[in-house]
Structure 1
Amino acid sequence: MAPKSDNTEAIVLNYVNEQNRPLNSQNVADALQKYNLKKAGIQKALDSLADNGKISFKEYGKQKIYIARQDQFDIPNSEELNQMKEENAKLQEQLEEQRKAIRKLEGEIRTLQSNLTLEQIREKEAQLVKEVKEMENKLAKLRGGVTLVKPEDRMAVEEMFLQKLSQWRKRKRMLRDIWDPIMENSPKNLKEFKEELGIEYDEDVGVSLQSFSDLLQRGKKPKGGR
């Protein structure tokens, strides 16, 4: 049920005085929806308040702008204004100090949240103890001469390694057979020609076929050795 007209005027007057800024009827209607007031009733209340001199208004074409009467407010003198400015400056300083304190506390909270809890520390400790024990067992087996890789697995890996080395040598030889005659009859600089075609030697990328061959030889035990 909508408020009575006198109650509507009281609500509208109170709102206009509280806002103390230029308002049109739509501004007031939007703000007072919680009172279940219709725009037509608000418009009527605004006009009645203006006619009775309780609020001021001005017309801009078809638009009416309403504002609280300024003579009802105490207007501070220059000394009071200066005092208010000083108080406002002090309040701003206090506000900034509070903000800094809040930021500091938030930083401390983030730091605490990033730290492990006692339960998490214990879980981490248990995990590390388990990993250390596993590594110590593995080290003990290695020191005792236990073979951790089965002979057949080792042979399979070596066989695959030999195949890859063989393919490497074959492809390297094929490239040389084609590339060397081209360079013998080419007037271009070797480095520039390689860059133009996007060709790189093993040495250009820091690898060596011989070093991989030597690696395989070092992995083999000499006959009669332990």
Structure 2
Amino acid sequence: MSDKTTSGIFKYLFDQNRPYSVTDIHMNLHKEYGKTAIQKSLDTLVEERKVLEKVYGKQKVYVVNQELHPKVEESELRSMDARIAQLTSELTGEGLALREAEGKLKALASSLTSAQAKQALVECEDDIREKTEKLSQLKKSSGNVTADDRRRVQDQHRKSLGEWRKRKRITNDIVDAIMEGYPKKKKDLYEEVGLETDQDVGVTLPS
């Protein structure tokens, strides 16, 4: 066994982030490594706490230690998403109001007398100027959330959702594997190991 083999096995488990048996790894990597080399690499990684080993009957399953993946603060992402949504809504509303005022100005100018049109023009120009200034202030107030910041948050949000789905899938895979030899109901297993579902804590996985 070489360090290259061990690093290759670890990279595969880290990137996939789901449980696999030795046979799974052997087949998924197109038999690049022999089963004996894979097992020795996994034993080394387990000793180093980079990989966790789960035993279900006669089968052993290996999954990367989740502590090695970066943690994401969901509260921070939700706060920034809410701020972005608020500013976007306000900008959209002010833009619509501005276009409405401009349309009103054109309609009035085409149907009123010259004196009336001039008066309406002054009023509409004041209205447009007021809304334009407000729109400008809103744009400035959103300066702390730049386009790059927004893209970064959205990318991080997608990554977080991906990690959530992966970890939920890992948990479900492990639970399903345990249930094959578990004499009680799944609910009893959850209570026994202290496992809470999304529904238990009132959380819904975003679409």
TM-score (normalised: structure 1): 0.33
Bigger Rg over Cα: 1
Larger relative contact order, structure 1 or 2 (CA cutoff 8 Å, min sep 6): 2
TM-score (normalised: structure 2): 0.36
